[in-house]
Structure formats: C-alpha cells, structure tokens
Amino acid sequence: MDALTLLLNRRSLPRLAEPAPSGEALENILRAGLRAP
C-alpha cells in the first residue's frame, strides 16, 4: 500500500481530548503542513 492510500483511508479516533495545541501553535502546524512536500 502506498502512503497516499494510507492517508486517505486512515481512521482517526472519534473523540480528541486535552491537551491540545494553542491557537497560535495550531496555526503554525497547519501552515507548515501545507508547505511540506
């Protein structure tokens, strides 16, 4: 199985719990993810 198939078919846990990143940290994580190849 290739990486794209794994990412498109993965299953996440339905409930997330604390701790979560702060708003600024989350924004940085998302911006970095958009720039990654």
- The encoded tokens of residue 29 equal 């994580």
Q: Is the dihedral of CA 22, 25, 27, 10 positive or negative?
A: negative
pLDDT at 27: 94
Q: What share of the chain is helix, strand, coil (3-state, %, to 5)?
A: 55, 0, 45
pLDDT at 18: 84
* Of residues 34 and 36, more confidently modeled: 34
The per-residue pLDDT for range 9-28, each reduced to its tens digit, is 888 777 778 888 899 999 99
Answer whether 29's CB lies under 8 Å from 21's CB.
Answer: yes
> DSSP state, 22?
-
Amino acid at position 17, single letter? A
**Residue linked to tokens 């924004």:** 27
